Structure 1
Amino acid sequence: MSQQGAALQTYNNELVKCIEELFFKRDELNKQIQQEEEEKTRLQHDIRVLTEKLSRVCESLDRRLTTRNELDRTIAETEAAYMKILESSQTLLSVLKKETGNLTKATEPRSTRDRLPM
C-alpha cells in the first residue's frame, strides 16, 4: 500500500504542477489580452482622430478645388475679353491709319495731288 500511496503522491504532485502551469499560461494569456485590448483602444482612438482629420482635409480640398475652378473660369473669361479688346484695337488702328491716309490726301495742296506722274 505504501507503493500505491507513493504513486498517488507522485500523481498528485504532477497534477498540482500541471494545474499551476495552466494558471501561469492563463495569466500570460490575460496579460496578452489586456495588451491587445489597450492597443485596440489606442488604434480606435487614432482611427477616430485620423477620420476627423481626413474629413477636415477633404472639406478644405473641396473648397480649394471650387475656388481653383472659379479662378480658371475667371481667367478664361478675362483672356477671351482681352483677346476681343486686342482684335478691336487692331481693327481700330487699321481704320485710323486708313482714315489718316485719306485725310492726308484730302489736305495736300491741290497742285501736288493734281500732278501727273512723269
Structure 2
Amino acid sequence: MTQQAAALQTYNNELVKCIEELCSKREELNRQIKQEEEEKDRLQHDIRILSEKLSRVNESLAQRLAARATFDRTIAETEAAYAKILESSQSLLSVLKQEAGNLSKATEPRRKEH
C-alpha cells in the first residue's frame, strides 16, 4: 500500500499544482479583462466627448455655410444691380450728350446763308 499511497500523494501534488496553475492563469486573464474593460470605458467616454464635439462643429459649420450662402447671394444680387446701374448710367450719359448736342445746335445763332 505504500506504493499506492506514494502514487496517490504524487497525483494529489500534481493535481494541486495544476489547479494552482489554472487559478494563476485565471487571475492573469482576469487582470487582462479588467484592463481591457477599463480601456473600453475610456474609449467609450472619448467617443462620447468627440461625438459631442463633432455635433457642435457640424452645427457651427452648417450655420457658417448658410451665412456664406447668404453673403454669396447678396453679393451676386448687388453686383447684378450695380451692373444695371452702370448700364443705365451709360445710357443716361449717352442720351444726355445727345440732348446737349441738340440743345447746342438749337441755341447757336443761325448763320445767314449767302
Instruction: Note whether the superposition's TM-score is higher than 0.5.
Output: yes
Give SS of 1:70's match.
helix
Structure 1 residue ranges without an equivalent (≥5)? none
Separation (CA, whole Å) in 2 of partners of 1:51 and 1:13: 56
1:18-48 Cα shifts (integer Å, max 9, x gaps): 0000110110011011001100110111011
Query: What is the Cα deviation at residue 107 of structure 1?
Result: 2.1
The aligned amino acid for 2:103 is L
Residue matched to 1:22: 22
Sort the Cα spacing of 1:34 and 1:115 in 2 relative to 1 into closer, same or farther, 3 A.
Answer: farther
**1:56 offset after TM fit, Å?**
0.5
Gaps in structure 2 of 5+ consecutive residues: none
* Rounded Cα–Cα distance in structure 1 between residues aligned with 2:24 and 2:43: 28
1:66 maps to 66
- Superposed CA deviations along residues 88-117 of structure 1, whole A, max 9, x for unmatched, are 001001101101111121122211xx558x
What is the root-mean-square deviation in Å for CA atoms of aligned residues?
A: 1.3
The answer for the alignment partner of 2:5 in structure 1 is: 5
| Runs of 4+ off more than 3 Å | none
Answer 1 or 2: higher relative contact order, Cα 8 Å, separation at least 6.
Answer: 1
Rounded to whole Å, the distance in 1 between the matches of 2:47 and 2:83 is 52
How many aligned residue pairs are there?
Answer: 114
Code of the aligned partner of 2:11: Y
- The percentage of aligned residue pairs carrying the same residue is 76
1:64-95 superposed Cα distances (whole Å, 9 cap, x missing partner): 01101111110111011101101100100110
